[in-house]
Amino acid sequence: MLSSHEPPAVTVTRPESRSPFLFTCDHASNRIPLVLGDLGVSQAEMQRHIAWDIGALAVAMRLADAFEAPLVASGYSRLVVDCNRQLWRDDAIPVRSEFTDVPGNRALSEAQKTRRHREFHQPYHEAITALIDRRLSRGHSMIYVSMHSFTPIYRGVHRPWQVAMLSNRDRRVADTLLRELRHEPGLCVGDNEPYRLTDEGDYGVPVHAERRGLPHVLIELRQDEVNMPSGQAVWATRLIPMLALVARELGLEP
């Protein structure tokens, strides 16, 4: 589906790093492949949260740079196919996101859905799997950190949390970060809010981290906090020492 001059479906930075961290960004881009046109969605709508996680990649890059860690980032919009969804879910290729219709996703055949999965979802997760396999084969353990962001208002409901830590069965990383963040004055910190991490609703953490027993967390930052470089820098600066503490507590020195 991608022409030779279009960016790849996945980008991997520092694959040979020995850092104790592996960062991923499932919704890094709002790009749509040329073959799909605009999916019937306006440019203004494509700048909104329905198409990508605003600011998440920029923060992930700052964190990965600080720890000289690998970063795996998706190359195309979650409206093409959502890299953090199981493929059987209706919202893996949404026909409507919040209040916005996505005409280009209507009435897709199974073959069309499979093609999107094969060319966008699969390469992204194969890259993560290969990186983890290689690191574990060399005896390098790691902490899996999935970077996301969320809209301040969803379906008319205001969300007070500026940051949230999502976890499921293994709360080691989330609990340390929550403890440290709650020491910060003026922060409203969510614990599995506004979302909860589940096997059914998520893909990256359950498949890559939980199944392998890797310590992990999904970090959600509110988009009005990280939609500008200044806010991205503030949050990266805040999270770096906290993540370093996590690594020390787990016996994985950064």
pLDDT above 70 as % of the chain: 100
Q: What is the Cα–Cα distance from 188 to 234, expressed in whole angstroms?
A: 16
Is residue 235 predicted with pLDDT exceeding 80? yes
- Per the CB < 8 A criterion, the answer to whether 53 and 27 are in contact is yes
Q: List the single range of 100-104, 136-140, 204-208, 234-238 with lowest mean pLDDT.
A: 136-140
pLDDT classification of 5: cutoffs 50, 70, 90: very high
Asked if residue 254 has pLDDT above 70, the reply is no
For the chain, the three-class secondary structure string (H helix, E strand, C coil) is CCCCCCCCCEEEECCCCCCCEEEEECCCCCCCCHHHCCCCCCHHHHCCCCCCCCCHHHHHHHHHHHHCCCEEEECCCCCCCCCCCCCCCHHHCCCEECCEECHHHCCCCHHHHHHHHHHHHHHHHHHHHHHHHHHHHCCCCCEEEEEEEECCEECCEECCCCEEEECCCCCHHHHHHHHHHCCCCCCCEEECCCCCCCCCCCCHHHHHHHHHCCCEEEEEEEHHHHCCHHHHHHHHHHHHHHHHHHHHHCCCCC
Q: Quick one: angle between helices 229-249 and 56-67, nearest 10? A: 50
pLDDT average, residue stretch 106-119: 96
pLDDT over 90 percentage in the chain: 98
d(CA 26, CA 76): 9
Please give the pLDDT value at position 253: 76
pTM to 2 decimals?
Answer: 0.96
Q: What is the pLDDT of residue 237?
A: 98
Residue 164: phi and psi, rounded to 5, are -145, 145
**pLDDT over 90 (residue 233):** yes
Domain 10-249 in CATH 3.40.630.40? yes
pLDDT at 68 (0 to 100): 97
All residues at 6 or more sequence positions from 38 whose CB lies less than 8 Å from its CB, including other chains? 32, 46, 104
Q: Where are the domains of the chain?
A: 10-249
Return the pLDDT at 48. 97
> In the predicted model, is pLDDT for residue 98 greater than 90?
yes
- Backbone torsions φ then ψ of 122, nearest 5 degrees: -65, -45
Residue partners of 217: CB distance under 8 A and separation at least 6: 143, 144, 145, 146, 165, 166, 167, 173, 174, 177
Provide the mean pLDDT of the chain: 97
